[in-house]
Amino acid sequence: MKKNWLFFALVVTLCWTACTSEEVEPDETRLGADFYPLEVGNYSIFQVENTDYKVTGEVVTSTYQLKTEVVDSFLNQTGNISYIIHYFKRQSASEDWQLNHAWTARKNANQVVLIEENVPFVKLSFPIKDDKVWDGNILNSLPRDDYQMDSLFSQYITPGQDTIANTLTIIQGDNQDFMVELDRRYEIYGLHLGLVYKEDIKLQYCTNTDCLGQQQVETGHEYRQYLIESGTN
């Protein structure tokens, strides 16, 4: 009798699993979607440090705050939801926010696409996996630009000394020959937070015989952006 009961229970369990497998919602955390939350009302505030190296030799440094806020959503042509993100800027916390530009983003089971000035970039690729590589420019006409996923679920301490327990890093460029040019670009995403740090450094060095290898910057920029506040309105 006991054996018959165990056999019956096993059959019921297998039948229930098979019958309900198509209705199970995807695990957003295992997929990686929770590293790029998109919901109307979400906002993030960043501290930004930027340095421009002009061809004239002038070096211009600026610091300001940047705010991103998901303000609306709509059904796009693919049948998925796109989100409108407003980008605000101010020089310091004592000033009012000024709208700088508006971009859109969309997310599905395969990827996150951010459309910047009508140019789509594949920011994340799902499911997340260490050392995963994809072309961030695959949806636009720009040259191939391989992104690589790194440091999944790693702890990260922001420049403001805030500790974020679970992050992943997307390496967008890592050419550091220190002779001709430096191209170091990467973004760090926090679980349930989205972007928490961004670094974009592109420098062209002097290649004349009298300065080759001395890392004398001719043109370029250094951009760093880190999260100081986030929440939902």
Q: Which residues have CB under 8 Å from 30's CB, separation 6+? A: 127
Strands of the sheet with 163-176, listed across from one edge: 119-125, 111-116, 98-107, 81-90, 59-75, 42-53, 217-232, 194-205, 181-190, 163-176, 146-157, 133-135
> Would you call 115 helix, strand, or coil by DSSP?
strand
pTM score: 0.85
Cβ pair 78, 104 in contact under 8 A:
no
**Peptide bond between residue 37 and the one before it cis (omega within 30 degrees of 0):** no
Domain boundaries, the chain: 35-232
Phi, psi of 162, deg, nearest 5? -90, 135
Mean pLDDT by 10 residues, the chain (233 residues): 40 39 53 95 97 93 98 91 98 96 96 96 97 98 97 90 93 85 95 97 89 85 96 94
Look up the CATH number of domain 35-232.
2.40.360
pLDDT of residue 90: 98
pLDDT of residue 27: 59
* DSSP 8-state symbol, 25: P
Cβ pair 36, 188 in contact under 8 A:
no
Q: Which residues have CB under 8 Å from 79's CB, separation 6+? A: none
pLDDT of residue 22: 47
pLDDT of residue 79: 85
Return the H-helix or E-strand segment holding 142.
none
> Would you call 143 helix, strand, or coil by DSSP?
coil
